[in-house]
Amino acid sequence: MGSASGFYSNEGFELDPKWLVDPRHLFVGPKIGEGAHAKVYEGKYRNQTVAIKIIKRGESPEEIAKRDSRFAREIAMLSKVQHKNLVKFIGACKEPMMVIVTELLLGGTLRKYLVSLRPKRLDIRLAVAFALDIARAMECLHSHGIIHRDLKPENLILSEDHKTVKLADFGLAREESLTEMMTAETGTYRWMAPELYSTVTLRHGEKKHYNHKVDAYSFAIVLWELILNKLPFEGMSNLQAAYAAAFKNLRPSAEDLPGELGLIVTSCWKEDPNERPNFTEIIQMLLRYLSTVSPPQIVPPPVRRVFSSENVVFSPDSPGTCSLMNVRDKDGSGQNVHAADTSEKETKGSFFFCCS
């Protein structure tokens, strides 16, 4: 498993041994999230409560290769950069399944939090405090030459007290270089910068130039949401919103934004990327605004706990054990069952299944 270079390597997958997760000590509990590429579970690793992201393998050779690449890229970024506003990376493994283990934040996603408050808005001081957390995370990434490319409320996670935001999901993150050309099929349409599109529909996998300023545009849309607690481009589909932003230079209305915050938002979503501020400048602008508002203690609105397990007792031997080591098990009909799907069935009868 090791190598002379000190890195764990398996078919192109390399990871410093200190980040290598031993699946025998991984207990996977209830599913707490799911995306196009992965499912996320609450669980335990060596008696630490964690979030466990299980990457979907894909079916075709092309899908499998793409997922492998995304997985390797994400763990490379997570292991390279640490910051208080980035979700803490604990480790990963590729066999028997592609798994990424991070700290578990109990506040849920910013998206769910904002939706739970509607039609109410966040206190403006709390909204700006969240924006500063996000901007500081992005400043850290950019200082390491990393573009996130998928900044949106679904990838921003709250602490249990709803006072801190951390950035997650580095599956689309890339290292930036002056000569690199990157695929334009990145991010989520509603939050994507216009330069990710072309006046001609890009062929699958076609390359296009852009830089770290795509994250500033996405930040503007997120900040707009934090202030107004509305869905940007409401009434449009994701594709319609992308088309309107790219080809009609349309943006969400800035009329209801407080003056200085409105200037920050509109500067960040300018059509010309070179005219957008960097995150060091964004942080300074946010701090200047924060100094102009009264400083009473910020108390986030109460919301119910997002996850189901509270004060759970974990037994040494997980009941109803189902091993991730056996990637394919047989169900009653003799059909192959993927371990991630089996986990959901197991948790109905017992809270955790063990990777042993």
Cite the active site residues.
150
Q: How far apart are CA 51 and CA 87, in angstroms?
A: 10
Answer left, alpha or beta for residue 135, where phi above 0 means left and psi between -120 and 50 means alpha.
alpha
Burial class (CB in 10 A: 0-12, 13-18, 19+), 236: middle
* Residues 51 and 103: beta-carbon distance below 8 Å: yes
* Residues 260 and 292: beta-carbon distance below 8 Å: yes
At residue 280's C-alpha, the angle toward residues 131 and 209, to 5°, is 95
**Do strands 353-355 and 26-34 pair parallel, antiparallel, or not at all (unpaired)?**
antiparallel
Annotated ligand binding at 53? The verdict is yes
Phi, psi (5° rounding) for residue 175? -75, 135
Q: 103 is written with which tokens?
A: 């700290």
β-bridge partners, 38: 55
Q: Which of 201, 223, 231 is nearest to 269 (CA)?
A: 223
Is the preceding peptide bond at 96 cis, omega within 30 degrees of 0?
Answer: yes
* Residues 223 and 254: beta-carbon distance below 8 Å: no
Q: How far apart are CA 278 and CA 83, in angstroms?
A: 18
At residue 327's C-alpha, the angle toward residues 323 and 329, to 5°, is 80
Burial class (CB in 10 A: 0-12, 13-18, 19+), 111: middle
Name the binding residues for ATP.
Answer: 53
Name the binding residues.
Answer: 53
